[in-house]
Amino acid sequence: MREIGVGIAGMGFMARMHSRALSRIPNTRVVAAWSKFPHEHERFREFTRKLGLEVSRYYVDLNQFLEDPEIDAVICAIPWKFIYPIAREIIQNGKPVLLECPPGATPAEIDKLNRLARARGAPVMPGHCYRFAPCFRKVKELISKLGRPELVSFRELVPAASLARQWAPDSWIWKKEHGGPLPTMTVFAMDLARWLAESEASTLYASLSLSRLKSLRILGYATTITIRFKNGTVWNSEFTNLVNEARGSLMNLEVMSERYVTRVTSPEHVELFTEKKREWMLELERPERWGHQDQDLHFINDVVSKGKPPAVTLKDAEKAFRLSLAALRSARQNRPVRL
Ligand SMILES: NC(=O)c1ccc[n+]([C@@H]2O[C@H](COP(=O)([O-])OP(=O)(O)OC[C@H]3O[C@@H](n4cnc5c(N)ncnc54)[C@H](O)[C@@H]3O)[C@@H](O)[C@H]2O)c1
């Protein structure tokens, strides 16, 4: 198999996450990286060196980066507020690209990228990693055998102190006028909701409290999102960073119907209750836990190498983002939103 050369656009948190995942994919090499901020280059070089990667070329000019002949595919990890013009250039160039999500600042921007990709024949895969997480794939497999769930309950708690290490106080993610962390912290679960329900949302109700955390200088958030899907499945979810670090991060999912209950108590543990109980322990390392590793593997092996269509589309990404935006609207207006 021929080696695939990858170029990474962006040098922040998700660029590091993708580098780690790519470092474990055979016949794949990160050959170049782009950031318009030269001060980021050295830090990224140090990080990738620790992973055993030697990224040969660093660019500040996006066009020069895209013209690099060793780049076969691009991973674009730029915050959603700023991604559109960059994603447009990459798609226009025609190389296969994985775009971090949301892949635009508005659903209309995502739709424009989708139309450009079709016109250009460029393969574009949005990064909706939860669909690739082994625990959620197991749950999806059980649902397809056992039938539609009546209620799905999802919780994701990430201590503020750990998010403050990820994103500095002046980061785009803490800007209240853009909904603060809500779009980024909910959009992946919104995609998971549609994927597990196998239906489209009809109504959504959300509540949100945003507060300023003085000691960490970031926003605290606590939000609930309830969705009724057209097939009758109800999704209920809670997201917060207002949880003590001693408690640690927590993610769980419980899928319920009269016939069965299946639940994820951690990314490594899935249970199924029918007449008897069964459970699966998954042995996973960091980029595998939330699906990043398998997502990037699908992108490289199937989309880039074999020219297969991606398992997630820009249309999916647009719909998931619409749900996160509807949650913001519902919370601000304190009423359910029809979709
Ligand atoms: N899949 C996941 O698990 C996951 C997790 C966190 C974030 N994300 C998504 O990934 C995206 C990137 O998040 P991140 O945490 O890597 O962000 P980040 O703050 O770490 O920044 C990423 C990079 O964006 C670039 N950048 C910032 N502002 C820019 C601008 N105005 N113009 C051009 N480049 C700019 C910088 O080079 C920076 O290194 C977000 O949209 C977020 O929603 C995904």
The whole domain housing 195 covers 130-285+321-338
pLDDT given for residue 245 in this prediction: 86
Give the tokens for residue 294.
Answer: 């398998």
Residue 286, pLDDT > 80, answer no
Residue 5, pLDDT > 80, answer yes
The CATH number of the domain holding residue 329 is: 3.30.360.10
Shared-domain flag, residues 183 and 326 = yes
pLDDT given for residue 125 in this prediction: 98
| Number of separate helices (H) and strands (E) present in the chain | 11, 15
Shared-domain flag, residues 93 and 63 = yes
Give the tokens for residue 295.
Answer: 């997502």
In angstroms, rounded to a whole number, what is the distance separating the alpha carbons of residues 32 and 179?
33
Give the tokens for residue 271.
Answer: 């249970």
**Which residues face 286 on adjacent strands?**
none
- Could you tell me where the DSSP H helices lie in 128-264? 134-146, 160-166, 182-197
Contact (Cβ atoms closer than 8 angstroms) between residue 291 and residue 191: no
Contact (Cβ atoms closer than 8 angstroms) between residue 130 and residue 136: yes
Atom of ligand 1 nearest to the CA of 187: 43
Testing ligand 1's pocket by substitution, the residue of 8, 11, 13, 65 carrying the most ligand atoms inside 8 A of its CB is: 13
pLDDT given for residue 247 in this prediction: 84
Assign 3-class secondary structure to 13-62: HHHHHHHHHHCCCCCEEEEEEECCCCHHHHHHHHHHHHCCCCCCEEECCH
Average pLDDT over residues 267-277: 96
Atom of ligand 1 nearest to the CA of 81: 41
Residue 76, pLDDT > 80, answer yes
User: Residue of the nearest CA to atom 24 in ligand 1?
Assistant: 78
Residue 177, pLDDT > 80, answer yes
- The band of 2, judged by pLDDT with boundaries at 50, 70 and 90, is confident
CA–CA distances in Å: residue 327 to residues 76, 201, 272, 276: 26, 12, 30, 37
The CATH number of the domain holding residue 111 is: 3.40.50.720
CA–CA distances in Å: residue 150 to residues 167, 278, 321: 37, 20, 23
Shared-domain flag, residues 136 and 85 = no
Mean pLDDT over all residues of the chain? Answer: 96
Asked if residue 33 has its Cβ within 6 Å of ligand 1, the reply is no
Residue 1, pLDDT > 70, answer no
How many structural domains is the chain composed of? 2
Residue 15 Cα to ligand 1 middle (Å): 8
Residue 287, pLDDT > 80, answer no
Residues in the chain: 339
- Weakest mean pLDDT among 48-57, 133-142, 228-237, 244-253: 244-253
Asked if residue 129 has its Cβ within 6 Å of ligand 1, the reply is yes
pLDDT given for residue 284 in this prediction: 87
Q: What is the pLDDT of residues 128-138, one digit of tens each?
A: 999 999 999 99
Average pLDDT over residues 181-204: 98
The vertex-71 CA angle with 288 and 167, nearest 5°, equals 45
Shared-domain flag, residues 27 and 67 = yes
Shared-domain flag, residues 91 and 143 = no
- The band of 178, judged by pLDDT with boundaries at 50, 70 and 90, is confident
Shared-domain flag, residues 278 and 169 = yes
Query: H or E segment at 330?
Result: helix 314-333
